[in-house]
Chain A
Amino acid sequence: MDRFVWTSGLLEINETLVIQQRGVRIYDGEEKECCMAILLSQIVFIEEQAAGIGKSAKIVVHLHPAPPNKEPGPFQSSKNSYVKLSFKEHGQIEFYRRLSEEMTQRRWENMPVSQSLQTNRGPQPGRIKAVGIVGIERKLEEKRKETDKNISEAFEDLSKLMIKAKEMVELSKSIANKIKDKQGNITEDETIRFKSYLLSMGIANPVTRETYGSGTQYHMQLAKQLAGILQAPLEVSEKGSLTSEEFAKLVGMSVLLAKERLLLAEKMGHLCRDDSVEGLRFYPNLFMTQS
């Protein structure tokens, strides 16, 4: 696994400790290996793998290819594009939850790049342009924009919203099927890059058939994820405006996660902000919906 870099084990400037878990074994692909550091920005997306008989629960971490200017690590090259973290002493649920949050927040994008772990020469890791399924990507980008537009229009009427939500679930079903059908022709790397599209839509960990099997469970989970994106704009619409604290209390989530949901909805154009001495409030984005 060539994405690893040597590290002292101490926190760099601009790094904070999110979570520490003992007894985690790292597999390079399917092979058991020992451990060091991977930058969060190298992660495309993560999946859970349930425990089995004689097998610990695992988190599969899919990675971008190693950048050419990466600091030295234990391996020069690897045929695998993912690592597995095997939780021998449990703790995978909380670890997964925290890692998911970090993947949604993407705090490293706002930080100045740490000198010792990364140099900024050449293309930035994690920003590799997608190739290979450009045609599908473009069509889906158009569909995504249309879907965004649909969401904006739907907020005036709750019943319309339900119809749109159903349409969105159908859309993601068809996307999922497209992936499945092309599985033979599309490389795993391309599939991963496409899934990072979903990541940019706010689905931090797209449900996959590997994690949820097929059928009703899979579609229900997908609908749940999509509903997660629609939740913030919906609640704000109902109440007129909300702060992070109010939203968190309303839906029963941490203020941190509530804020991330609101910021994501703002990024997608569903909400706008009112920043005053009274605090930060989010409103439905009437700039886009009113004439």
Chain B
Amino acid sequence: MAMSFEWPWQYRFPPFFTLQPNVDTRQKQLAAWCSLVLSFCRLHKQSSMTVMEAQESPLFNNVKLQRKLPVESIQIVLEELRKKGNLEWLDKSKSSFLIMWRRPEEWGKLIYQWVSRSGQNNSVFTLYELTNGEDTEDEEFHGLDEATLLRALQALQQEHKAEIITVSDGRGVKFF
């Protein structure tokens, strides 16, 4: 399946790659960057990245336009994503991050809705079954990466709708 990613108009606008000093303008600019990062990672099925990869990725480096977003500005965009709940740092030195185009709580909600709809409350699943089983083939969370799935289930756990358990060869989850 060919992936044709459609860049937004901002990507071809040179000022997009300069952090704007005007506060109102900057707000719009950062919102556009956040949106772009999430849709880019979603389409390319990229759930984690290092900052170094990001710098050289076409995402922040428009070779044709000869503009790249400086690393300090990339950090600011990433921080915005973190504040919105779409990003989690994977290490203390903030060199690599998990990127979730849907927030864990939103994934949790979708998963729980499927569980309820299919009358499978009080059932136990392995993590693998949830994301790669036949039964979930038509679901949006099918194929979801384990790191994001785990955070989605942790969100449900907080709401007492699920419990992460250990099963024979790994981890599983029980839904209530």
Contact = CB atoms under 8 A, between A and B. Distances in A.
Interface in A236-291: 241, 266-267, 269, 272-276, 281, 283, 285-288, 290
Contact of A275 (B9, B13, B18, B32): B18
Contacts of B25: 269, 272, 285, 287-288
Interface of A is mostly: mixed
B24 interface: yes
B116 to A, nearest CB: 37
A283 B15 contact: yes
Given A273-B15, A273-B18, A276-B14, A290 B24 contact: no
A276 B18 CA distance: 8
A17 B29 CA distance: 39
Contacts, number: 47
Contact of B13 (A266, A267, A286, A288): A286
A288 B24 CA distance: 8
Contacts of A290: 9
A218 to B, nearest CB: 32
Contacts of A286: 9, 13, 15
A286 B9 CA distance: 10
A283 B13 contact: yes
Contacts of A241: 14
B170 interface: no
Contacts of B10: 287
Contacts of B28: 287-288
Contacts of B17: 274, 276
A184 B22 CA distance: 39
Interface of A: 241, 266-267, 269, 272-276, 281, 283, 285-288, 290
Interface of B: 9-10, 13-15, 17-18, 20-22, 24-25, 28-29, 32, 66-67
Given A241-B14, A276-B14, A287-B32, 5 more contacts: A272-B18, A273-B21, A275-B18, A276-B17, A288-B28
